[in-house]
Amino acid sequence: MTAGMQRSDAAGPLDGFVTTAHLASFPGIEHKGGAGPRSGSGGQMGRLNDRVAIVTGGGGGIGGATARALAREGASVLVVDIDEAAAERVVLDVEQAGGSAAACRADLSEEGEVVAAIAAAMARFGRLDVLHNNAALTESDFLTRDTAVTDLSLDVWERTMAVNLRSQMLTCKHAIPEMLQSGGGSIVNMSSGASLKGDRTRTAYGASKAGVNALTMYVATSHGKEGIRVNTIVPGLIITDAVRAHLDAKMLAGLGKATLTPYLGQPDDIAHLVVFLASDESRYITGQMIVIDGGMSAHVGLGGDG
């Protein structure tokens, strides 16, 4: 991967909390803040038919699974990744399954490239309803340089903040005005269990993801009455190629013991949650940090192996 690595294929240390969303309706915003079931041009029903989504870091394991899941529900998807070839492979998967998608290369730490990516979605599909902020620095060689604070180099800190946090601020900044033209939308940010508790390493990563949590609440508060919903997914261990690259079999086995489910998380588990948060089924959920970690954060020690 190049210096602009932006693919969210891994989650950090694996603890978190989830707040409870009320399930009542609120008059006046019934069709804002997410996509609902609508009949598409082919007459097929999908939760996201006639809607347009952007998935950043869309060429990776989680991003690719999410782009495919959104398309299966009827959305047209702009797959954004710094690795254009990876994005194009996901687009091919979507198209072969009968969906609609396009690829876009962008370094989302640069505001001009964010503006261009949003413009590409509007030019290709004519509207914007869903933004999934999934891009992050996950390349194993880079993460090994993200150390305890006394050994942490400033360039690692600044690059991590630029890609993991600034990119999400910039995409929110430029996506929201386009969403408002269609009456609202749903933004789904990606955080990490590393944002909620400390560790002996990956200081910059954890701090950047904590910033995502705060950003989510502030953007949700600022734009909620306009029909913009904003939530954060806080993943635990999700098995992707990037995870396998920096966790060996022994480490994975140990983490598996701490997971309460009899299986480890897969990219599709995140993708299904993104689809839910993008749809009107979640219309009363905003400003939340939603943990998806197989129960790893629900106990102490290795209580999950019994």
Q: Is residue 125 part of a domain?
A: yes
CB atoms under 10 Å from CB of 93, counted, come to 17
Band of pLDDT at residue 169, cut at 50, 70 and 90: very high
Average pLDDT of the chain? 87
Q: Is residue 5 part of a domain?
A: no
Q: Is residue 28 part of a domain?
A: no
Percent of the chain with pLDDT over 90: 75
Average pLDDT over residues 19-34: 36
Q: Is residue 87 part of a domain?
A: yes
| 8 HSE (CA, 13 A, CB side) | 37
Average pLDDT over residues 276-281: 98
The CATH number given to whatever domain includes residue 219 is 3.40.50.720
State the residue range of the domain holding 73: 38-295
So what's the pLDDT on residue 241? 85
So what's the pLDDT on residue 246? 75
Residues across the chain: 306
The sign of the torsion formed by the CA atoms of 274, 278, 279, 282 equals: positive
So what's the pLDDT on residue 27? 37
pLDDT in tens, 285-298: 999 999 999 999 99
pLDDT in tens, 200-245: 999 999 999 999 999 999 999 999 999 999 999 999 999 988 888 7
CA 270 to the chain's CA centroid = 8
Q: In angstroms, what CA-CA distances link 71 with 20, 67, 98, 198, 285?
A: 28, 6, 9, 36, 22
What residues contact 92, with CB distance under 8 A and at least 6 apart?
none
Give the three-state DSSP class for 276: helix
- Residue 191: φ, ψ to 5°: -115, -145
The residues pairing with 46 across neighbouring beta strands, listed in sequence order, are 38
Residue burial 229-266, b: 16+ Cβ < 10 Å; e: rest = bbbbbbbbbbbbebbeeebeeeeeeebbebbeeeebbe
Catalytic residues: 205
Number of structural domains (the chain) is 1
* pLDDT over 90 (residue 31): no
Q: Is residue 24 part of a domain?
A: no
Distance between CA 114 and CA 137 in Å, rounded?
17
Q: Is residue 152 part of a domain?
A: yes
The sign of the torsion formed by the CA atoms of 289, 293, 294, 299 equals: negative
So what's the pLDDT on residue 304? 46
Q: Is residue 201 part of a domain?
A: yes
Q: Is residue 13 part of a domain?
A: no
Percent of the chain with pLDDT over 70: 84
* pLDDT over 80 (residue 37): no
